A and B are shown apart, each in its own frame.
Chain A
Amino acid sequence: MNDHSPLEAQLREALREVPAPPLLRSRILNAAAAQSRSTPRATVWRRWIAMAALLTLGSFGLYRWEQQRRAQAAAAQFTLALQIAQRKVQHVQSKLVVEVPVSLTRQN
């Protein structure tokens, strides 16, 4: 690869580096400065969007949590009501078992 044939030497000469145009440096620096100025504005917008997204997600999470909490409370109340009803039924049943034989003997 390093044998310097006449063609390679000619290619080196033909493709050699050339000085950049005189105004290229200032053109690049001006564009970079403009880029730097526009970046904070873009950053502010990105922050607002991020905050809005965070708020939306937060509100949605809170809403879901509240819904879940209410559902759990309702389920607990329902279970309690069932337990109370069950205890009442048991109480009535036990009374029936005790009182019926006595009334039957009175009739006889």
Chain B
Amino acid sequence: MGTLPEFAELVEKYQSMVYSIALRSLGHREAAEDLAQEVFLALHQNLDTIESEDHARNWLRRTTANRAIDEIRRRKYRSGPALEEVPEASIEPGSTDPLLLAHLRSSVASLPAEARVLTVMRFQQEMEPREIAATLDIPVATVKSRIHRTLKLLRGKLERRAEARSTQ
């Protein structure tokens, strides 16, 4: 650990993870690419402190999450057309209405910074609340209550959307 070939392996293995956390948190492809590059460069500078691959993966998740939160707060990224620009029709299994998925992504992108990143970590990275709590350095109870509130909020939005569509 600490030489460029090993760093290249880490990039190869975790670029999609870092990019996806950034993309779903920021909702902009270019911003997500910039963030991914920034995170990997920070890893490159800190390779001496990385002890194992697990450590590297957790480090990348934590750094991406925290930088995404900072970036959202700084630039006020909100839901917008950039989310729908992401071409995903080919990789989505097609079991769910693509418009519904786009609506969900847009709703997630309208959440406050920390709730947004937390939702991505829970439902994209399949992280347990205690892992998220450790990663974002917040209490487990806070993570659980925020996920609960987010689900409630999203459920409400979906219901309103369904009602609006049924009346059309």
- B66 CB–A CB distance under 8 Å: no
- How distant is B41 from chain A, measured CB to nearest CB, in Å? 6
- Per-position 1/0 for B14-25, Cβ under 8 A of A: 011111100110
- How distant is A107 from chain B, measured CB to nearest CB, in Å? 100
Partner among B4, B40, B101 whose Cβ is within 8 Å of the Cβ of A10: B101
Query: Cα distance A27–B36 when bound, in Å?
Result: 10
Q: In the complex, what residue of chain A is closest to B87 when comparing beta carbons? A: A18
Q: In the complex, what residue of chain B is closest to A7 when comparing beta carbons? A: B155
A8–B37 touching, CB < 8 Å:
no
Collect the chain A residues with CB atoms within 8 Å of residue B15's CB: 20, 24-25, 28
B108–A18 touching, CB < 8 Å:
no
Query: Cα distance A13–B65 when bound, in Å?
Result: 20
- Per-position 1/0 for A1-43, Cβ under 8 A of B: 1000101101111111111110011011101110110000000
Partner among A7, A15, A18, A28 whose Cβ is within 8 Å of the Cβ of B120: A15
- B81 CB–A CB distance under 8 Å: no
- B45 CB–A CB distance under 8 Å: yes
Query: Cα distance A29–B3 when bound, in Å?
Result: 12
Main secondary structure of the interface of A (DSSP, over half): helix
- B133 CB–A CB distance under 8 Å: no
Surface stretch bound by A, among B49-57, B70-78, B92-100, B160-168: B92-100
Q: In the complex, what residue of chain B is closest to A29 when comparing beta carbons? A: B8
Query: Cα distance A5–B154 when bound, in Å?
Result: 12
Q: In the complex, what residue of chain A is closest to B24 when comparing beta carbons? A: A15
Partner among A16, A21, A35 whose Cβ is within 8 Å of the Cβ of B29: A21
Q: In the complex, what residue of chain B is closest to A15 when comparing beta carbons? A: B124
Collect the chain A residues with CB atoms within 8 Å of residue B108's CB: 11, 14-15
Q: In the complex, what residue of chain B is closest to A39 when comparing beta carbons? A: B45
- How distant is B154 from chain A, measured CB to nearest CB, in Å? 6
Q: In the complex, what residue of chain B is closest to A23 when comparing beta carbons? A: B33
Q: In the complex, what residue of chain A is closest to B105 when comparing beta carbons? A: A14
- How distant is A37 from chain B, measured CB to nearest CB, in Å? 11
A31–B37 touching, CB < 8 Å:
yes
Listed in ascending order, the chain A residues whose CB lies under 8 Å from chain B are 1, 5, 7-8, 10-21, 24-25, 27-29, 31-33, 35-36
The 5 closest A-B pairs by CB, nearest first: A14-B104, A20-B15, A17-B20, A15-B124, A20-B19
